[in-house]
Structure 1
């Protein structure tokens, strides 16, 4: 394994358990997923991404490290998807319990989660169940992400991580930031997943 990949491996290995927990609250790959499930997913992700992307965009350390947070924002894509489905994105609640970015390393850990989701989005897009396949190209901007540039943008981010996380302590800080990001995301998604499930049971 090359030195350039070690910090990313630490981040991946150090968050694998929470990544799996977060996926339990995303129903849009379930065989019985509905358009309502997808709408809830978009609104919940917008509520988390928008304020967190604001935090990253305002981080001077990330900017100095070469991370262009403004160009990497995907909240506008979520808003566009909701509009395409006839929903007003301005009505989506915003998460106020966000991870800490008190150091560059922690901020990179936070960014790792959001940047990693661009790769995950492409996987989800390819695996959408039959009830949601018809949405491809119409309300899937968030899952499409940066399109053909997704891979190159990920590699550019990986280069920043390798350049900035040069000590075990910095890697630990980044893992802490990434884990906190997943924990806050799970806390944000969990009650919305329960509410959606209860609504489905009431309707059946």
Structure 2
């Protein structure tokens, strides 16, 4: 790893390989993507996000540095999207193989992956193929993320990372947390989705 990079840039560059692998399992931007593909995508993301969000909400260190995990929950958006499609979100399996958040820096690495998805979601929302485009505004709350405040939420998160991840050891821990989060996500998505997207393409 290269020394001297600012923390978010290092997180992006040092997880790029896993980011690409994760995209292989979220193919709702394919021209032939179907409503069934989209349902599978929403269910898989709900099962992972809800579990990870609970992990982050229980982390006292994150609360201490101003990361408001309850306010940043995206699982209610996913549940609402599934409900709009006639699915029962309560029936969705939840992921039990979670990344470790054994330090503040590592927890911020976990949060980086989850928060980064809000940037990629906006990209996906604008690029949905014709078979799914009609869902905009009806079952796309998760892709819309924080709406007009998505940029502000990301900048606030970036400021937290910059203030808390300050040493080379911190950076290594944050990268380890982010990589494990991607690895767990890949393992969760692989058997549950048809296949690639751009969830974290714009995260930086």
TM-score, L = length of structure 1: 0.92
Which structure 1 segments of 5+ residues have no match?
A: 198-204
Partner of residue 58, structure 1: 58
Cα deviation, 1:69-95, whole Å, max 9, x if unaligned, reads 000000000000000000000010100
Cα deviation, 1:109-150, whole Å, max 9, x if unaligned, reads 000000000000000000100000000000000000100000
The structure with more radius of gyration: 1
Partner of residue 200, structure 1: none
Partner of residue 90, structure 2: 90
Partner of residue 22, structure 2: 22
Partner of residue 105, structure 1: 105
User: Which stretches of structure 1, 4 residues or longer, exceed 2 Å deviation after superposition?
Assistant: none
Tell me: higher relative CO, structure 1 or 2? Use CA pairs within 8 A at least 6 residues apart. 2
State the shift of 1:49 in Å.
Answer: 0.2
Partner of residue 155, structure 2: 155
Aligned length: 191
Partner of residue 121, structure 1: 121
Distance 1:9 1:192 in 2: 30
Partner of residue 44, structure 1: 44
TM-score, L = length of structure 2: 0.92
Structure having the higher helix fraction is 1
State the shift of 1:191 in Å.
Answer: 1.2
Distance 2:178 2:98 in 1: 12
Which structure 2 segments of 5+ residues have no match?
A: 196-204
